Chain A
Amino acid sequence: MSTLTAVRGGAPVETPEPSEPTPRRRRWVPYALLLPGLVWLAVFFLAPMATLFSTSLQVGSIDEGYRPAFRIANYTEALSAFSEQFFRSFGYAAMATVLALLVSYPLAYAIAFKAGRWKNVLLVLVIAPFFTSFLVRTLAWTAILGDQGLLLGQLKDIGLVSPDFRLLARPFAVVLGLTYNFLPFMTLPLYASLERIDRRLLEAADDLYSSAFTTFRKVTFPLSLPGVVAGTLLTFIPAAGDYINQRLLGTPRQSMIGTVIDSQFLRVLDYPSAAALSFTLMVSIVVLVWFYVRRAGTEELV
């Protein structure tokens, strides 16, 4: 610092005072640059979070108004009433995530390693469904899976399945819808991490007595784990909170926690219980993700 002053001023004698402001101002700069981000975080994340939490402990009704009461029972009641939907949501989301991974991995692998000049075309195709609305995409599945739809209509005509058989309105359809709708969230991170792998590492493995399969198991897959972790999170989290797929493709017996929250908010107008459910959902996802990332981080990535 002192050299800086000396050089700048060209003064042979150093005076400590003038050299002070520069470093002090400098120390502030990073924080000043952080400020917009912090404000954003405070306004759009912390404030809603705090309100959500406070709402979750209130009592009252739409007619009487709501007042803070620190009522923990809002949580216990909501959870005992809707635990089934909670577990089902996580179950379906987990199934959809695994399915999406199984479908996406070969797809991303093929695009990254085998597609050659078709790479960009294939990537566009992967995200092409996103150009239409979520709702329309999901409704399209009712046409495909319908009892007399594209798939079953044909199979029933040739007598391969019984006329009463159906795919819609079953857990299968809901999980399929979730899988389909969040597939690009899985494929794209996987592709990105596979694409990034240095091909020379694969040659090195080949050179070190690894068959193609062993190379995949010991090099390609471990190196793609960041993509797997990102993809599974990006799929699991929205899938666990989703309610469209259940509503359009399922029945009340497949209802998920997102459906419940929506209904508690908009239809029953029980804001505290809806807030309690939202908050619980959020916390459980954070906890699950935390454990998952830690596990993936300590065991798989090493």
Chain B
Amino acid sequence: MTASHDARIPAALSRAGLSRRRFLRGVGYGGVALTGGSLLAACGTDPAKPRPEEQVAPDRSQQEKVVNFSNWPLYIDVAGKNEGKRPTLDAFTKQTGIEVNYTEDVNDNDEFFGKVRPQLQAGQPTGRDLFVVTDWMAARMIRLGFVQQLDKANMPNAGNLRAALESPPFDPDRSFTMPWQSGFAGLAYNAKVTGEVSSVEELLTRPDLKGKVTMLTEMRDTMGLTLLDMGKDPSDFTADDYAAAIDRVQKAVDSGQIRTFTGNEYAQDLAKGNIGACVAWSGDVIQLQFEDKNIKFVTPDAGVMLWSDNMMVPNKAAHKANAETLMNYYYDPAVAAELAAWVNYICPVDGAQEEMQEIDPELADNPLIFPDQATLDATHVFKDLSAEEERNYTQAFQRVIGA
């Protein structure tokens, strides 16, 4: 398979209008059924964090050469239109003899949490050895003791992790998590609809954008950017700062400036011109740009938010060592580059940029996939919230977004 081929395929697929982040969040009725299930299990739950010996299950990695991997939809390379054929996974199986049961059942952080929480809280296996959730959800799961410490001895490639991602507040040593992909949350606009939009302030107040603005339902991204715009640091702010930011957004909602808050579906609206500008994820914008050069991604001067989706091993996973082998595999720069060429998010692996030169030089030079150190240094991550903060802030944010 030639290098240039690889780059074309994801581009073509993206034109079909889907990517992991653009995939509709779990708003389907699956969510309702799940809601019912969570409710049942919510009856008198045990608060105690599981003790370490309760977290592990006998590792059967040696006997059973399999790993059960749950990930977001459209978040991995596929061969052509054949979704069942995934070149990097197939190569992994060939190399290690480990079969991967790859399931795309993470549609939404909260929903996925609702799905696995009952088992994890009850100290039962989830049937998964590895799954991928966003930073703040990873933080919550670590806090609740739902996930296991990783054995770095099984992961020599872990050292290839980009320095900027090495110590997030919720997991300073990366002892529980490894990033799968990262991305920016910034601004985007459609140049056909409006002139340049360069700050959250403009988004929230510019009269010509009235009713043509959306923000994300991801609280950390929307509120992080708003706090930055107000000169606050999203990794270190007070409850008052947060309240002020909420007020600011609420005003824009009340005035009709903000049309709505979206999951990944803002991308279609932006492309169609239903909205002029929005808070957006970098990977989506790259994919939209394959089709329409009028879609622009903006890094506000006040700064952008950096997020990662993290691989974790849940308690009672039966094939932890195999999961670690898989993580190690994806930290091989060549493999990472192949993956990045398809998914278009920030590649967390050092050395992948060089490998990408061979696959698609244009992508290798894309600062949204391989940002330089200076760019990364200027990014922000959202503060690690205590349980109470998380609840209060989420509650307040949900009120603003009308839920």
A255, A265, A275, A278 pick with most chain B CB within 10 angstroms: A265
Chain B, 258-276, contact with A by CB distance < 8 Å: what is the 0/1 string?
1111000100110011100
Give Cα A48–Cα B39 distance, bound, in whole angstroms. 8
Q: Is the CB of A51 within 8 A of B402?
A: no
Determine if B403 and A146 form an interchain contact, defined as CB atoms under 8 angstroms apart.
no
> Please, which residues of chain B bring their CB within 8 A of the CB of A247?
27, 260
- The reply to whether B401 and A252 form a contact with Cβ atoms under 8 Å apart is yes
Contact call A266/B111, Cβ cutoff below 8 A = yes
B contacts with A, residue count (CB < 8 A): 52
Inside 8 A of A270's CB, which chain B residues have their CB?
A: 391, 395
| B2 adjacent to chain A (CB < 8 Å) | no
Instruction: Judge if A248 is at the interface, Cβ distance under 8 Å.
Output: yes
- B24 CB–A CB distance under 8 Å: yes
Known: A135-B27, A247-B27, A268-B395. A54 touches B272 (CB 8 A): no
CB pair A61 B253 closer than 8 Å: no
Contact flag A262-B43 (CB < 8 Å), given A134-B28, A253-B253: no
Give per-residue flags for A52-72: 1 if the beta carbon is below 8 A from chain B beta carbons, else 0. 101100101111111110000
Q: How far is the CA of A278 from the CA of B32 in the complex (A)?
A: 11
A51 with B39: in contact, given A61-B391, A269-B391 (CB under 8 Å)? yes
Chain A residues, Cβ within 8 Å of B212: 147
Does chain B have a CB within 8 A of A244?
Answer: yes
Indicate the member of A139, A248, A250, A268 with the most B CB atoms within 10 Å: A268
Q: Is the CB of A48 within 8 A of B211?
A: no
**Residue in A48, A63, A166, A268 whose beta carbon sits within 8 Å of that of B394 in the complex:** A268
On whether the beta carbons of B43 and A266 are closer than 8 Å, the reply is no
B143 within 8 Å of A (CB atoms): yes
Verify if A149 is at the interface (C-beta below 8 Å from B). yes
Q: Which residue in B38, B269, B387 is a CB contact (below 8 Å) of A265?
A: B38
Is A240 among interface residues, defined by CB-CB distance under 8 A?
Answer: no
Cross-chain contact of A135 among B28, B47, B256 (Cβ < 8 A): B28
Residue from A58, A244, A268 within 8 A of B391 (CB atoms) = A268
Contacts of B113 in A (CB 8 A): 266
If A55-B42, A265-B35 touch, whether A244 touches B27 (CB-CB below 8 Å) is yes
B36 touches A (CB below 8 Å): yes
Residues B27 and A248 in contact, CB atoms below 8 Å apart: yes
Q: Within the complex, what minimum Cβ distance (angstroms) separates B118 from chain A?
A: 12
CB pair B27 A66 closer than 8 Å: no
Decide: A166 near B211, CB < 8 A? Known: A134-B28, A253-B253: yes
Q: Does B114 contact A (CB under 8 A)?
A: yes
Return chain B residues, CB-CB under 8 Å to A268.
Answer: 391, 394-395, 398
State in angstroms the CA–CA spacing of A63 and B143 once bound together: 8
Contact A261 B35 (CB under 8 A): yes
Is there contact, CB below 8 Å, between A262 and B144? no
Q: Is B110 interfacial (CB-CB < 8 Å)?
A: yes
Q: B403 touching A263 by the CB < 8 A rule?
A: yes
Interface string of B235-273 (1 = CB under 8 A from A): 000000000000000000110101111000100110011
On chain A, the residues within 8 Å of B114 by CB distance are 265-266
B273 near A148 with CB under 8 A, answer yes
A203 to B352, CA, bound (A): 82
Chain A contacts for B265, CB-based, 8 A: 139, 248
Assess A255 versus B402: contact at CB under 8 Å? Given A48-B36, A248-B27, A265-B114: yes
- A133 lies within 8 A of chain B by Cβ: yes
Whether A236 is near chain B, meaning CB under 8 Å from some CB there, is no
Q: Which residues of B contact A261 (CB under 8 A)?
A: 35
Contact B387 A63 (CB under 8 A): yes
Asked whether any CB of chain B lies closer than 8 Å to the CB of A168, the reply is yes
Q: Is A24 an interface residue (CB 8 A)?
A: no
Q: Mark A5-20, 1 if CB is under 8 A from B, else 0.
A: 0000000000000000
Contacts of B374 in A (CB 8 A): none
A133 and B35 in contact (CB under 8 A), knowing A54-B43, A251-B258, A266-B111?
no
Which residues of A in the span 119-135 have a Cβ within 8 Å of any Cβ on B?
133-135
Inter-chain contacts of B28 with A (CB < 8 A):
133-135, 244
Taking the closest CB of chain A, its distance from the CB of B114, in whole angstroms, is 5
Cα distance A148–B40 in the bound complex, in angstroms: 45
Which residue of chain A lies nearest to B46 when distances are taken between CB atoms in the complex?
A65
B127 at the interface (CB under 8 A from A): no
Question: What are the residues of chain A within 8 A of B403 when measuring CB–CB?
Answer: 252, 255, 259-260, 262-264, 267
* Bound form: Cα–Cα A55–B43 in Å: 6
* Distance of B268 from chain A, by nearest CB (Å): 7
8 A Cβ contacts from A135-168 to B: 135, 139, 142-143, 146-149, 164, 166, 168
Is residue A112 within 8 Å, beta carbon to beta carbon, of the partner chain?
no
The answer to the question of A254 belonging to the interface, with a C-beta cut-off of 8 Å to chain B, is yes
CB of A86 within 8 Å of the partner chain: no
Residues 203 to 259 of chain A near chain B (Cβ within 8 Å):
243-244, 246-248, 250-255, 259
Chain B contacts of A92 at CB under 8 A?
none
Does B400 have its Cβ within 8 Å of any Cβ on chain A? yes
| Interface residues as binary, B79-117 with A (CB distance below 8 Å gives 1, 0 otherwise) | 000000000000000000000000000001011011001
CB pair A148–B387 under 8 Å, yes or no, is no
How far is A139 from B228 in the complex, measured between Cα atoms in Å?
33
Instruction: Assess A65 versus B402: contact at CB under 8 Å? Given A261-B35, A266-B114.
Output: no
Name the A residues within 8 Å of B259 (CB-CB): 168-169, 251
Judge whether A90 is part of the interface by a CB distance below 8 angstroms. Answer: no
Other CB < 8 Å A-B pairs besides A252-B260, A265-B35, 5 of them?
A: A62-B387, A146-B269, A146-B274, A247-B27, A262-B35
| Interfacial residues, chain B to chain A (CB-CB below 8 A) | 24, 27-29, 31-32, 34-36, 38-40, 42-48, 108, 110-111, 113-114, 117, 143-144, 211-212, 253-254, 256, 258-261, 265, 268-269, 272-274, 387-388, 391, 394-395, 398, 400-403
What 4 A-B pairs come out closest when comparing CB atoms?
Answer: A252-B402, A65-B47, A255-B402, A263-B403
Question: Would you mind naming 19 contact pairs between A and B with Cβ atoms under 8 Å apart?
Answer: A48-B39, A51-B39, A60-B47, A61-B391, A67-B44, A139-B265, A142-B274, A147-B274, A166-B211, A168-B259, A251-B259, A254-B402, A255-B402, A255-B403, A264-B403, A266-B34, A266-B113, A267-B398, A275-B39
